[in-house]
Every structure is written in structure tokens, then in C-alpha cells.
């Protein structure tokens, strides 16, 4: 299956279940893998905003890493700070530590 076919398959599944966090994350990762970081970041930001009370924690780190690659370190740091807070609330300590390490490397 080609990357385009995988994206199309994920998009079709999302039309059936638009609130599936894992599918949305997978779609963003497909764009990142294809080198389309702008679209990946947009999808990750949409995923984070989808459930503000309990956002999908892995999306913060991936969005921040993509933003760094795009030369947008300020946005990456803001994303990481928000992600660290969300991870703490959800007791996602490993993810919180990874985001803290990346944030410290950018400061």
C-alpha cells in the first residue's frame, strides 16, 4: 500500500468516526512521514483542540517536533508547555518527561 493509499484509507475511516484520536494521530503521522510537516502540524493541532478537557497527549510532542523542524521554536515551546500540563493532568509521566526534555533543549 502506498502512502497516498494509507492516507486515503485513514481519511475514509475518519469520515465514519471523526472523533477517533488514534486515526487522527495516524493521519498526521502519515503527512509527517511524507515530509508535509505543515499539514501534519495542522492535523495535530486539530486533534489537540478536539478534546480540550482531555487532549491526546502524544500529539503535543509530535507537533512540537514538527514545529522545530519548520523553524518555529517559539510555537514548539508553547505547545510543549501546554502538553506538559495536559500530560500531568492525565498522569502520563513518560510523555511529560519527554516533552520537558525537549523544552529544556529549546530554552
Domain range list for the chain: 3-106
> Taking Cα atoms as reference points, which of 88, 89, 20 lies closest to residue 100?
88
**pLDDT-based confidence at residue 34 (cuts at 50, 70, 90):** very high
Rounded-to-integer distance, Cα 67 and Cα 19, Å = 24
- Name residues whose C-beta falls within 8 Å of residue 15's C-beta, 6 or more positions apart in sequence: none
What's the confidence (pLDDT) of residue 1? 81
Asked if residue 3 has pLDDT above 90, the reply is no
What's the confidence (pLDDT) of residue 89? 96
Q: Please tell me what DSSP assigns to residue 107.
A: -
- As a CATH number, domain 3-106 is 1.25.40.10
**pLDDT-based confidence at residue 15 (cuts at 50, 70, 90):** very high
**pLDDT-based confidence at residue 47 (cuts at 50, 70, 90):** very high
- Name residues whose C-beta falls within 8 Å of residue 62's C-beta, 6 or more positions apart in sequence: 25, 28, 29, 32, 40, 44
Rg for the chain, CA atoms, rounded: 14
pLDDT tens-digit readout, 60-93: 999 999 999 999 999 999 999 999 999 999 999 9
What's the confidence (pLDDT) of residue 48? 96
How much is the pTM?
Answer: 0.92
Amino acid at each position: 500500500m502506498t502512502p497516498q493509499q494509507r492516507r486515503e484509507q485513514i481519511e475514509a475511516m475518519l469520515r465514519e468516526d471523526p472523533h477517533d484520536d488514534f486515526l487522527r494521530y495516524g493521519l498526521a503521522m502519515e503527512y509527517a512521514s511524507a515530509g508535509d510537516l505543515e499539514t501534519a502540524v495542522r492535523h495535530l493541532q486539530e486533534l489537540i483542540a478536539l478534546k480540550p478537557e482531555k487532549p491526546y497527549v502524544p500529539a503535543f510532542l509530535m507537533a512540537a517536533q514538527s514545529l522545530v523542524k519548520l523553524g518555529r521554536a517559539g510555537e514548539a515551546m508553547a505547545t510543549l508547555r501546554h502538553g506538559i500540563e495536559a500530560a500531568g493532568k492525565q498522569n502520563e509521566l513518560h510523555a511529560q518527561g519527554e516533552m520537558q526534555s525537549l523544552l529544556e533543549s529549546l530554552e
